Structure 1
Amino acid sequence: MTKGTTSFGKRHNKSHTTCRRCGKVSFHIQKSTCSSCGYPSKKMRQYNWGQKAKGRRTTGTGRMRYMKTMTRKFKNGFREGTQAKKQTA
């Protein structure tokens, strides 16, 4: 009938360790698969029922070195190598 302290005392075997792809402690040692990213599968693990999880690792969560300039360039029609005309009063 003990569901608390005595049961918790028996938990000393680790089934998961750090994943080399995502860095979470989600890599199952015996299965040798990550429960978070799906490593060693080539494709990243993601499901539509996990919208919040998708958002945590999608575009916009990093630096976006290329993408962050795209909105400005799109507004100007991706023009390059032109100079603004001089304003005359």
Structure 2
Amino acid sequence: MWLHPKTKGTSSFGKRINKTHTHDRRTGRRNYHIQKKTTPSHYNWSVKAKRRCTTGTGRMRHMKKVFRRFRNGFREGTTPKPKRRSAAAPSAVATK
């Protein structure tokens, strides 16, 4: 004599929301954990993982220019001063 099951086991697991991960807005990969609200690469769990995807691992097309401009004080719209000839330039060999 079987009554309908009053179970919390196998039959209940099919009714769960079946996706734990969705697309990450930052990287576009499908590894954003919905409950944790984070991705493995941004979770701060490993120094090595940070080293793989931090600034300086790619081309740095823009940042290379910014570093150079920073060293020069972000100058814009100026021209360099003309270089003066040095007074101690060696002249032609003196004749006797």
TM-score (ref. length: structure 2): 0.46
Bigger relative contact order, structure 1 or 2, given CA contacts below 8 A and separation 6+? 1
